[in-house]
Every structure is written in C-alpha cells, then in structure tokens.
C-alpha cells in the first residue's frame, strides 16, 4: 500500500513537472531583425518605429536593433556592434546604389541661353550621367519673376528641354529623363514680381 502510494505521488509529481515545461516549437518561429543604420552617404542617423501586434519599439541611435518574434511584440532595443551588423548585412550594404547627385545650371535673362559659367560646367554634368550605372535624370526648369506666370512655365520647360536634348544627344534614352517646369513658383531667392534675378533662372538636374 505504501509503495503504491509512493508510485502515485511520483507519477503525479512527474506529470506536474511536465505540465510546467513550456511547449517546444515544432518549427522555427518567424522572426525579423530590424536595425537602424547611419545614412551611407551622410552618416546621418534618423529613426525607425517598429510595430508588431500590440507592441512598438523605437530605434533612434546608430545600430540600434530589435528582434520581432511572430505573435509577440518587438523585443528589447539593443545596440549591435559594427562587426555583428557587417556579419549579417555586410553583403547587402555593399550593394547600396550611389545616392543622387544634383547640379544647378543658370541662364541668361529671358531665354534658354546658359550663362558662360554653366555652359562650362555642362560637360562635367554629362560626364556624371555617363559614369553612373543605369542612370535616370530629373530636370526641373525655373525662371525669375520677369513676365507672366504662364509664360514662365513655358520658359522653364524650354530651359529644361534644352538640357534634356543635350543629354539625349549624348546617348541617354529620352524615356529615362523626366522634364518638369516650376516656372516662377519655386524661386531659389524669393523676390517681388517682375524682378530679374539670375539665381532664379536655373535648371535643377538630378541624376540618380
């Protein structure tokens, strides 16, 4: 009788111990690792807000990270060392395309004639387009406030079109160039209406 009771107690104790053990996952649980990295060009560190289920984690410093496991909120924020980031993300970091490059070209008053200085700069802009892998170009034409707003939209387009035609002449596919005119609506230097201002007679060329 005593021996049987002992067996029962042992069995119950084992059962209780088993019940307390957490269930073992049968398959790997889905999880994300999210890391905030410095900007590859400027080194600037922004911020990320990671939301999962009811939980949120805010990443605000370089290499701050969180691991998110499916069904749970984001884990605690930890700052990884550079070697750990490189180990996991080194290959993909090496693939990041070059950042966009911007140029401003200036015009003589009232038409689409480049200033001597900007005409001299043009070859280096064309060289940058050639140097980049699979480039696309955005060209935005601007004017000063001389003349009407409507005619300045047309003039801005004419200035932007001049640069586009030069790039197309150099072999860039026209479908890879976006041409826009902001007319007099987006001056570099704000002025009253009907004011000649050389810094506003410009075309912004962005190569990406």
Work out whether strand 55-59 and strand 78-79 pair parallel, antiparallel, or are unpaired: unpaired
Of 177, 86, 163, the C-alpha closest to 121 is 163
d(CA 193, CA 190): 9
Is-contact 101 207, C-beta < 8 A?
yes
* Least gap, CB of 112 to other proteins (angstroms): 7
* Least gap, CB of 11 to other proteins (angstroms): 40
d(CA 100, CA 177): 14
Residue 114: beta bridge partners? 107
Question: Which of 161, 188, 191, 195: binder of other proteins (CB under 8 A)?
Answer: 161
Residue closer to other proteins by CB (options 18, 96) is 96
Q: Lay out the site mask for other proteins across 50-69 (x = CB under 8 A, - = otherwise).
A: xxx---------------xx
Pair of tokens at residue 16: 């209780």
d(CA 47, CA 41): 16
Question: Which of 7, 14, 49, 127: binder of other proteins (CB under 8 A)?
Answer: 49
77: contact with other proteins by CB under 8 A: no
112: contact with other proteins by CB under 8 A: yes
Instruction: Pick the stretch among 12-20, 44-52, 123-131, 191-199 that binds other proteins (CB under 8 A).
Output: 44-52
Question: Which of 155, 163, 172, 203: binder of other proteins (CB under 8 A)?
Answer: 155
122: contact with other proteins by CB under 8 A: no
Is-contact 35 63, C-beta < 8 A?
yes
**Chain-centre distance of CA 114, in angstroms?**
32
116: contact with other proteins by CB under 8 A: no
Helix (H, G, I), strand (E, B) or coil at 83: helix
Of 204, 203, 205, 207, the C-alpha closest to 112 is 203
104: contact with other proteins by CB under 8 A: no
Residue closer to other proteins by CB (options 7, 93) is 93
Is-contact 140 204, C-beta < 8 A?
yes
85: contact with other proteins by CB under 8 A: yes
Residues that bind other proteins (CB under 8 A): 28, 30-40, 42, 44-52, 68-71, 74, 85, 88-89, 91-93, 95-97, 99-100, 112, 133-134, 136, 150-151, 153-155, 157-158, 161-162, 165, 175-176, 178-183, 185, 206, 208
């Amino acid at each position: 009788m005593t021996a049987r009771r002992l067996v029962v107690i042992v069995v119950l104790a084992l059962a209780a111990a088993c019940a307390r053990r957490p269930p073992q996952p049968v398959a790997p649980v889905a999880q994300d690792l999210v890391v905030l990295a410095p900007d590859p060009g400027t080194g600037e560190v922004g911020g990320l807000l990671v939301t999962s289920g009811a939980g949120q984690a805010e990443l605000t410093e370089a290499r701050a990270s969180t691991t998110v496991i499916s069904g749970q909120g984001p884990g605690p924020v930890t700052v990884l060392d550079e070697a750990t980031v490189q180990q996991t993300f080194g290959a993909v970091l090496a693939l990041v395309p070059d950042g966009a490059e911007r140029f401003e070209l200036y015009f003589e008053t009232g038409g689409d004639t480049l200033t001597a200085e900007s005409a001299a700069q043009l070859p280096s802009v064309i060289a940058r387009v050639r140097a980049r892998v699979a480039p696309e170009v955005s060209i935005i034409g601007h004017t000063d406030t001389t003349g009407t707003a409507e005619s300045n939209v047309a003039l801005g387009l004419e200035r932007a079109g001049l640069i586009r035609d030069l790039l197309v002449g150099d072999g860039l596919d026209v479908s890879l160039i976006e041409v826009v005119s902001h007319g007099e609506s987006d001056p570099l230097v704000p002025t009253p209406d009907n004011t000649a201002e050389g810094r506003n007679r410009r075309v912004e060329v962005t190569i990406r």
